[in-house]
Amino acid sequence: MPEPQILIVDDETDIRELISDILGDEGYRVLTAPDAATADAAYREHKPDLVLLDIWMPDSDGISLLEQWQQQAPLSCPVVMMSGHGNVETAVQATRLGALDFIEKPVALNKLLVMVERALQTQPASQVELPPEPKLAQMLPVGNSEHRQALRQQLQSLAGHQRHFGLVGEPGTCLHDMVHWVHENSAIAETPLRFDQRAMQAITEQRLDRGCIAISAGGLLTANQQQQLHDWASAGSTQRPRRLVIYCSGDLDSQYLQGSLLPSLHELLNGYVVMLQPLRRHLIDVPLLLRHYSELLSDQDNLPYRAFSLAAQNLLRQYAWPGNELQLRKFVRQLLLIGSNEEISAEEARQQLQWLQQQPALSGLDGEIFNQPLRQAREAFERQYLTHHLQQTDGSVGALADRVGMERTHLYRKLRNLGLDPRQVGKSTETIMESEQ
Decide: residue 329, CB within 10 A, 0-12 exposed, 13-18 middle, 19+ buried.
buried
DSSP assignment of 227-243 equals HHHHHHHHT--SSS-EE
For residue 336, the SS3 value is helix
Of 70, 66, 44, the residue nearest 55 (C-alpha): 66
Of 391, 366, 387, 392, the residue nearest 377 (C-alpha): 366
Residues of the chain within CATH 3.40.50.2300 domain(s) are 5-127
What integer pLDDT is reported at residue 132 of this predicted model?
39
Report which listed range, 14-23, 52-61, 142-151, 371-380, is most confident.
142-151
Q: Are 280 and 257 in contact (CB under 8 A)?
A: no
Count Cα neighbours of 143 within 13 Å in the Cβ-side half-sphere.
Answer: 22
What integer pLDDT is reported at residue 153 of this predicted model?
94
Q: Are 10 and 34 in contact (CB under 8 A)?
A: yes
Q: Which residue has the higher pLDDT, 285 or 300?
A: 285
In whole angstroms, what is the distance from residue 288 CA to residue 305 CA? 15
What integer pLDDT is reported at residue 362 of this predicted model?
43
In whole angstroms, what is the distance from residue 365 CA to residue 368 CA? 6
What is the pTM for the complete model shown?
A: 0.56
Q: Which residue has the higher pLDDT, 417 or 78?
A: 78
**9 beta partners:** 33, 53
What integer pLDDT is reported at residue 293 of this predicted model?
93
Mean pLDDT confidence for 60-86: 80
Q: Which residues does 414 contact at the CB level (< 8 Å), separation at least 6? A: 382, 386, 406
Residues of the chain within CATH 3.40.50.300 domain(s) are 146-277
Report the 3 state secondary structure along 31-56.
Answer: EEECCHHHHHHHHHHHCCCEEEEECE
Look at residue 88 and tell me whether its pLDDT is greater than 80. no
For residue 122, the SS3 value is coil
In whole angstroms, what is the distance from residue 347 CA to residue 343 CA? 11
* E strand or H helix that includes residue 82: strand 79-83
Lowest mean pLDDT among 46-60, 139-153, 191-205, 398-412: 398-412
Q: What is the pLDDT of residues 188-223, one digit of tens each?
A: 999 999 988 778 888 888 888 999 999 887 555 678
Q: Which residue has the higher pLDDT, 220 or 409?
A: 409
What integer pLDDT is reported at residue 74 of this predicted model?
74
In whole angstroms, what is the distance from residue 10 CA to residue 12 CA? 6
DSSP assignment of 384-415 equals HHHHHHHHHTTT-HHHHHHHHT--HHHHHHHH
**DSSP letter, residue 139:** -
Which pLDDT band holds residue 373 (cuts at 50, 70, 90)?
A: low
Q: What is the pLDDT of residues 243-274, one digit of tens each?
A: 999 988 765 555 556 667 788 888 888 878 89
Lowest mean pLDDT among 177-186, 355-364, 392-401: 355-364
**Considering the chain, what is the average pLDDT of its residues?**
80
| Displacement of CA 117 from its chain's centroid (Å) | 27
For residue 194, the SS3 value is strand
Count Cα neighbours of 305 within 13 Å in the Cβ-side half-sphere.
Answer: 8
In whole angstroms, what is the distance from residue 434 CA to residue 384 CA? 25
* CATH superfamily, with its number, for domain 146-277: P-loop containing nucleotide triphosphate hydrolases (3.40.50.300)
Q: Which residues does 322 contact at the CB level (< 8 Å), separation at least 6? A: 280, 364, 383, 384, 387, 388, 425
Q: Which residue has the higher pLDDT, 138 or 128?
A: 138
Domain 5-127, CATH class in plain words: alpha beta
